[in-house]
Structure 1
């Protein structure tokens, strides 16, 4: 079959709609495509803004304390579980399993950490509004760390008192505290918590919050590293030679990513996520409780005593706009989840909030076919991409992984 080719001024092109144009064998990118590609480069990532709810968020001493706490297995009910048990530094601070395992097994996938300091919402459903508030949840979850507030307060007093007090002021007297007390967790721990005077509960809560703030200070130092895609994007924008930075198949995949595949509707910006919540028709995971996603989490984040507006936040009266003005209900929040960053995505299967897909190929087939959602309304529409296009798109996603997979510290 003869293809309609046009030779003019050294340009080899095609009149078939949607085909790539070439200049002396090199892809030609339109101004709109170039602008969108530039917006995806890590070079476009702005300086990390301060977290007004965490006064020590950018304090190196707090980050050092947070790092120690992050790897400390004593912050668990059995002395064996640390934050790093699921957030493995050599696995992009995630664990490569469908669902996280600590003291027990959770119902959701461990999310990577790099770049999450830019997000106003944490967890798949956004039920916490800061990194420090997020860090506190797993500590008291019976299937994750299985620890409690008085246990953690006593641990800090026994092992981290000097550095803690240099950052946050005097620790409360802990000798009279019960070994295990919390408003969450076991029935015995709840009873012990209720028996504490309000002043003691407040003092323990403040230590607990500060532990989260220190861990968050460490996590704010974890950022993604440049990839082959970034080298290509920066060269393209600067008008430098891009030859050899992407293969022809990867370049085709990039063109699909910013065009026909509509990936940038959710995966946009330098972190390849819009930080919002979307129902993309992901199937329910067999055997797990019904998971409604964001529609449930809005009430959880509003009632969280450690949110931006809470008593343990360092934010001022004019801060916390995300929390104040967030969407609280509506069908679009049913089974809606936050898209994680696609940076490093090819190196961290399985995928989705409960590891429903074991490969990128399976994810791309799902988005191409756009099946109906098990609840709520899926935003997807069939894309009618060929197998060759799906393969090219997967090849491009591989360019978002750094050569040496690590934490990006």
Structure 2
């Protein structure tokens, strides 16, 4: 008898795999699994938490000003970089690059914005504790916007005085403030800062902080959109009739996601992130300065004058529990980073905090193998997933993409 051809063997293997997925997906979910799956649905996302550190966080007029600032390239040293340069509205407010590029190149990947108002910590290392404080960092970064707080204050006075006053009240007098002044950054800005009295410094800081608060008011309006997974999870919760919503392979991937893959240890809740910090053995990038992640971020947030307990916060001392009880990070936080939301993850390679991993399949292979961390201790262990389980898991992650694209240009 003639041996089967390669094509026949491939067909038989594909049929067997399809039968495996069909058998697996037709098996009933347990009550515990249903609770876990439905807890990930966007319909379970609670209302936006208040931000007591930003008195205008939910003011539409502040969001209008913030949106204008978000897209304004004049808020940069070369007048070519805006917040939207790296946070592209039609790309989930990220830029598809391994590391962000402003007036120079940064050392980390741009994080998407949708849903970040729910997070107590911002940036990969959590070095900021509010969206408004986070917005200030790139403005004074030498490789992002490349400006300084006096420059930003003068720009507001020149182009946004009326809009600013409508939200925050009259601008303070800035005539005696040099064009460039900041306690950080270039020598000219440092010298300009030293030339100011305490009252002038406070005025500049307050205008600068308010710029961040306006931008944050706009960013609070950027929320994740429903996906096919959400339709499936809601149907599972309502009636159990989920026929035709996801493929058998995608359902098998969901089973791996909530089970053997251990993905929900870090990617849980409706935003599919725990907003905490984890060392998962991600390789370092050759040529970049050693990055210690949360270890450095914790020290920075505690020293930040624009944190929740700082003079420019609108919060009271009882409103800042997360920061109030934060202590210096231990060794477990070395190279620990915040996992971004998995919503839309299939559409935004490359991955990890510095774009070290090119494809989503490579990411799954990384977690399956669980290599040792280049520094600190990785908290992941090998998963022993087979090729079919990895393929199914990748298919499921594709169901987290928004059903419809949404822009944000003014």
TM-score (norm 2): 0.93
Q: Is the 8 A contact 1:114 1:407 kept in 2?
A: no
2: CA distance, partners of 1:406 / 1:366 = 31
* 155-164 vs 194-203, greater mean Cα deviation: 155-164
Asked if 1:135 is matched to 2:135, the reply is yes
The answer (yes or no) to whether the contact 1:224–1:408 under 8 Å persists in 2 is no
Structure 1: tracts of 5 or more residues without a match: 1-18
Q: How many residues align?
A: 390
Asked whether 1:174 is paired with 2:178, we answer no
Distance 1:327 1:272 in 2: 26
Change beyond 3 A, Cα 1:377–1:407: farther
Deviating 4+ runs (over 6 angstroms): none
- How far residue 22 of structure 1 moved from its aligned partner, in angstroms, is 5.7
Distance 1:408 1:346, change over 3 A: farther
For residue 362 of structure 1, give the secondary structure of its aligned residue in structure 2: helix
Find the counterpart in structure 2 of residue 319 from structure 1.
319
Distance in 2 between the 1:362 and 1:59 partners?
Answer: 43
Asked if structure 1 preserves the Cα contact closer than 8 Å seen for 2:22 and 2:248, the reply is no
Spell out the pairing of 1:193-272 with structure 2 (5 A cutoff): 193-272=193-272
- Structure 2 residue 280 is the aligned partner of structure 1 residue 280: yes
Moved more, 345-354 or 316-325: 316-325
Q: In structure 2, what is the equivalent of residue 191 of structure 1?
A: 191
Counterpart CA distance in 2 for 1:112 and 1:379 is: 24
Name the SS for the 1:271 alignment partner. coil
Shift of 1:88: 0.3
- Hey, which of these two has a bigger chunk of helix by percent? 2
Aligned to 1:8: none
Deviations 1:109-133 (A, max 9, x none): 0000000000000000000000000
Q: Is the 8 A contact 2:90 2:408 kept in 1?
A: no
Shift of 1:353: 0.2
Q: CA deviation at 1:408?
A: 8.1
Offset at residue 192 of structure 1 (A): 0.7
Equivalent residue, structure 1, for 2:118: 118
Distance 1:371 1:309 in 2: 39
Residue pair 1:281, 1:370 contacting (<8 A) in 2 also:
yes
Distance 2:115 2:207 in 1: 26
Offset of residue 27 of structure 1: 3.8
2:335 maps to 1:335: yes
Q: How far off its partner does 1:406 sit?
A: 3.6
Aligned counterparts of 1:363 and 1:357: Cα–Cα separation in 2? 6
Contact 2:226–2:403, Cα closer than 8 Å, also in 1: no
Residues 36-79 of structure 1: per-residue CA shift (max 9 Å, x gap)? 01110000000001101000000000000000000000101111
Instruction: State whether residues 126 and 294 of structure 1, in contact with CA within 8 Å, keep that contact through their aligned partners in structure 2.
Output: yes
Report the equivalent of 2:59: 59
Deviations 1:248-274 (A, max 9, x none): 000000000000000000000000000
Q: 1:94-152, CA deviations, whole angstroms, 9 ceiling, x for partnerless residues? A: 00000000010000000000000000000000000000000000000010000111111
Shift of 1:328: 2.2
Residue 326 of structure 1 deviates from its aligned partner by 2.5
| Stretch moving more, 344-353 or 158-167 | 158-167
Corresponding position of 2:402: 402
Cα offset for 1:336? 0.1
Q: CA deviation at 1:403?
A: 3.0
Question: Counterpart of 1:7?
Answer: none
In structure 1, distance between residues paired with 2:321 and 2:231: 35
Q: How does 1:28-177 map to 2 (within 5 A)?
A: 28-177=28-177
